[in-house]
Amino acid sequence: MAALALAFFVTALLYASVGFGGGSTYTALLALAEVDYRLLPLLSLACNLVVVTGSSVRFGRAGVTPWRGAILLTGLAAPAAFIGGLTPIGEAGFLALLGGSLVFTALSMLLPVAGGDPSRPTRFARSMPLVAVPLGYLAGLVGIGGGIFLAPLLHLARWNDARAIAATASLFILVNSLFGLAGQVVKNGSGRLGAAVELGLPLLVAVAVAGQIGSLL
């Protein structure tokens, strides 16, 4: 558990420094540690909430968050994240979906930004609300806040500048994690929730400390 808590601390420190929560890495680490897959979303989403709350507040106070666009995206994604959290899924399907999602995200980060005036969004920027719903559902189902899916797409579409995208992704993660966690709690019941709390308390403490440090970097 000490090694896992240390890994969570480092993950939260790195992700919080750029406004992300680290849910994808938490989930991968828990899977490698052979934790019951049904607990993974509960733990990852809770850690996400702890980490990105500070980042979201910091971005908001700095006046970086583009509230109109960010609220539109998160408002569309939140109900889908709750439904995703409610959706039953088997272990093989869960791990396959998680792995596929991470591969997709890694590949999307390697794609070049479309040419043209970098200050003007591409024609795909208007389509971003359409991707919010499936990303929210996937976030709630797998236990990832969704920012790791959203941010590369926003960059590719030149939706806004880098800081505004980071702020939007942070809020997206926060809201999706909250609604996804609510769905997961309803689905799993008090028994698994208790097991998640017992296992996750040291991890939550680790990411809480690291998240505060990372948000100041």
Query: So what's the pLDDT on residue 192?
Result: 81
Question: For 52-61, how does the pLDDT look when each residue is reduced to its tens digit (9 = 90+)?
Answer: 998 899 899 9
pLDDT of residue 1: 75
Task: Name the residue with higher pLDDT: 74 or 121.
Answer: 74
Prediction pTM value: 0.90
Give the integer Cα–Cα distance in Å for 164 and 176: 18
Residue with tokens 């889908």: 80
> Could you read off the pLDDT of 135-165 as tens digits, one per residue?
999 999 998 888 888 988 888 888 888 889 9
Distant-in-sequence, close-in-space partners of 100: CB < 8 Å, separation ≥ 6: none
What pLDDT was estimated at residue 113?
A: 53
Give the tokens for residue 94. 């869960």
Instruction: List the domain boundaries for the chain.
Output: 2-215
**Number of neighbours of residue 86 by Cβ within 10 angstroms:** 17
Residue with tokens 């919010």: 132
pLDDT digits 0-9 by tens, 178-217: 999 999 999 988 778 888 888 888 999 999 999 888 877 7
Nearest by Cα to 23 from 178, 157, 213? 178
What does the pLDDT look like over 102-130, one tens digit per residue? Answer: 787 677 667 665 555 556 788 888 889 99
